Each structure stands twice: as C-alpha cells, then as structure tokens.
C-alpha cells in the first residue's frame, strides 16, 4: 500500500527545532498538521507561522509525554478533531549533560522515561490506531547515540538504543498491516539540545532533517541516518573492537 500523500500528520514534541523542520516539510507537501507539546503559546506561534507559509490547516494541543496515563485519551481527542491520521512523528527527547545524570539518578530516570518509556507508551497507542486503518506511518526520532555506548552520553544513548530495538520489533509486527515504521537517527543537528556542545562538526539544519524525513517516508524506508554520512561514521564506530573502543575518549 502506498503512503498517503495527504491527510493529517500528528507531530508529538512539536516545540523542538527538529520537529518544526519536519512539520514544515510535511506541510509543504500538503499535509494538514496537529502539533502537540507542552507549551501552548509556543505551539500557537508555530501553528500560525506554518498556516501563513504553507496554507495548510494546523491545529494544536497540549501533550505531556511523561503522563503516560493520558496518552490513549489524548489520541482519541486528536482523532475526534481531525478524523484520521496519515502518520505520526515522535520528536520528544531529553538529553542533559552526562555529568548531571552521574550526580543525580533522578536525571537518569527522566532520560529513560522521556526517551524510551514515554515513546513506547504513545507509539503503542498510535500504532494500534494505524493498524486498524491498515496504513499510515510512524516516523520516530532515535539517535546515532543508540548505535554504540560511549562514556560521554551512555545514559541517553542506552535509552535511544532501546528505542531503536523497540522500533525494529514494531516494524516487524506491523509489516503485514501496511503501517510503515521509520527509525530516524540524526547526527549533529542545530537544536537547543546540542547548542554549546564541544566537538560538533558538519551540523545539519532542522530544515534539512525535515526534508530528509519526508523523502524517507515517501520512499518507504526503514532507517534514516541524517545527514546521510552518519550511516558510514557509525558503521566504522560499531566495528571498532571492544578492547580498542574502551580505551577511546568518546
């Protein structure tokens, strides 16, 4: 079944820079949008901008990723408003400095709850709906950090690695239903999450990420490294022998 080229796309975590780039790219292809996030004032500003620039319908609503008990009701409320979904974008994430997590296990719990537990809860709800409709897509932001544990961010990386494995299984389960699952693995992207981090190079813009995600959905791809060369960077990193890797300062 071909992916729908129209219909509403639900963007979760819509206040982030990367989500805005993805939302703008879907809107430029004629998709209506439903933006979900915590800050209603910010969502209203983003929605107004997208309506003016693209001419598509853009609704929005408040969504708390960590309140997993609210997820099913939230999706039902969105469906009551928009009718049906062409797809869902998961762009929620949390990455504090590793030192903060080392000093406070509460930060570790928040990393895991935000990047994995909340994602699984909401994607289970959304995938059940799309499976009933026998089509649509889930485009989920994981990370290259999940490809191999590194001393500089292994709490965040392990949560994203778990999310990547979950998506592999979900894609396997949904394949026969016509629902597509895209795992997005960004490298360095110019967002608030990466602002000020040392050692960044070849940083992509959120707009570049957005265009790449829409192309990947249209081409029914399973995994997207963005920018594309991160596929090869991580291929090398994954194949470094552990006896060597453990001595590296990464």
Give yes or no for residue 214 having a pLDDT over 70. yes
Give the angle 41-197-195 at the CA atoms, nearest 5°. Answer: 25
Write out the two tokens for 70.
């609210």
**HEC per residue, 168-214:** HHHHHHHHHHCCEEEEEEECCECCCCCCCCCCCCCCECHHHHHHHHH
Split at pLDDT 50, 70, 90, the class of 196 is low
8 Å CB contact between 206 and 193: no
The SS3 call for residue 56 is coil
8 Å CB contact between 237 and 148: yes
Write out the two tokens for 202.
């070849």
Percentage of the chain exceeding pLDDT 70: 93
Give yes or no for residue 1 having a pLDDT over 90. no
Q: Say if residue 65 is exposed, middle or buried (CB neighbours under 10 Å; 0-12, 13-18, 19+).
A: buried
Q: How far is CA 85 from the centre of its chain?
A: 17
- The pLDDT, as a whole number, for residue 204 is 82
Give yes or no for residue 197 having a pLDDT over 80. no
Give yes or no for residue 2 having a pLDDT over 50. no
Express each pLDDT in 100-136 by its tens digit: 999 999 999 999 999 999 999 999 999 999 999 999 9
CA distance 131 to 108: 33
The SS3 call for residue 158 is helix
Write out the two tokens for 179.
């629902």
CB proximity list for 177: less than 8 A, separation 6 or greater: 130, 131, 134, 135
- The pLDDT, as a whole number, for residue 12 is 98
Give the angle 210-78-73 at the CA atoms, nearest 5°. Answer: 120
Computed over every residue of the chain, the mean pLDDT equals 92
């Amino acid at each position: 079944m071909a992916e729908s080229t129209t219909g509403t796309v639900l963007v979760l975590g819509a206040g982030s820079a990367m989500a805005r780039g993805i939302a703008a790219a879907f809107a430029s292809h004629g998709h209506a949008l439903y933006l979900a996030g915590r800050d209603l004032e910010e969502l209203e500003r983003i929605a107004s901008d997208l309506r003016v620039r693209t001419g598509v319908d853009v609704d929005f609503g408040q969504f708390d990723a960590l309140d997993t008990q609210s997820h099913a009701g939230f999706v039902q409320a969105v469906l009551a408003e928009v009718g049906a979904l062409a797809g869902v974008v998961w762009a929620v994430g949390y990455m504090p400095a590793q030192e903060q997590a080392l000093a406070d296990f509460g930060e570790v719990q928040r990393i895991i709850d935000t990047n994995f537990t909340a994602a699984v809860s909401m994607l289970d709800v959304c995938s059940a709906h799309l499976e009933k409709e026998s089509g649509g897509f889930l485009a989920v932001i994981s990370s290259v950090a999940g490809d191999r544990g590194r001393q500089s961010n292994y709490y965040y990386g392990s949560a994203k690695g778990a999310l990547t494995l979950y998506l592999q299984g979900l894609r396997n389960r949904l394949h026969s239903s016509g629902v597509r699952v895209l795992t997005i693995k960004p490298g360095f992207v110019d967002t608030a999450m990466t602002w000020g981090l040392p050692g960044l190079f070849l940083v992509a813009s959120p707009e570049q990420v957005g265009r790449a995600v829409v192309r990947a959905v249209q081409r029914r791809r399973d995994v997207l490294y963005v920018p594309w060369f991160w596929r090869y960077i991580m291929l090398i990193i994954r194949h470094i022998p552990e006896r060597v890797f453990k001595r590296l300062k990464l």
